[in-house]
Chains A and B, each alone.
Chain A
């Protein structure tokens, strides 16, 4: 079974631009979560989608948004990029059979650099 895939793997943008990142979950997984990883803040939760609905949202500004499609693929969008948005963005998918046993499987990440 193929793992979680993320595209693109690397991205360079300039301040003020916007960017869209894509995540394809493991086949059969309906939950997709997004995380931002930076050296200073570590791994922080952005949001989670399940069956095309955002169920959970972290403490990030409205410039960060996402969506999920009917095939469970998810996209994350960041508008008006700032230098501080430079980070590794990780996507994780899970099967959601039970909150107690749910394991999240992570993709390789998208490295975003904002100049």
Chain B
């Protein structure tokens, strides 16, 4: 059974700091890994998708890496801003015989302070 863990559970950093969020998964047989952002009481916004054959993806100040063999992914946020405050979730896409589905981590709650 695929299990996804995110560390730390919560993080508070001052504005302008670079930071790294961690995600680990137990089964390397994945199609892709996605990072999402969730604002309080809202739905999820897709940030980055890394295919299983890729090593990293970049979008603006965000960079996500994937090491499938070790079951790890990191999300790097450069020059953090107060607007980055949210919960960040990673999810792996696994195949269950007929279709793929997402298995989510428990999330990292990020607060960027002024």
Contact = CB atoms under 8 A, between A and B. Distances in A.
A97 B103 CA distance: 20
A55 B32 contact: no
A113 to B, nearest CB: 13
Interface stretch (B11-19, B41-49, B62-70, B71-79): B41-49
State which size class the interface on B falls in: 20 to 34
A25 interface: no
Contacts of A105: 46
Interface in B75-109: 89, 91, 93, 95-96, 98-107
B interface, by DSSP: helix, strand, loop or mixed? strand
A99 B100 contact: yes
A interface, by DSSP: helix, strand, loop or mixed? strand
A48 B32 contact: no
Interface string B26-59: 0000011010100001111110010111000000
Given A55-B99, A101-B49, 7 more contacts: A33-B102, A43-B89, A48-B101, A55-B98, A100-B32, A104-B102, A106-B45
Interface of A: 4, 33, 35, 42-45, 48, 50, 55-56, 58, 88, 90, 92, 99-109, 111
Interface of B: 31-32, 34, 36, 41-46, 49, 51-53, 89, 91, 93, 95-96, 98-107
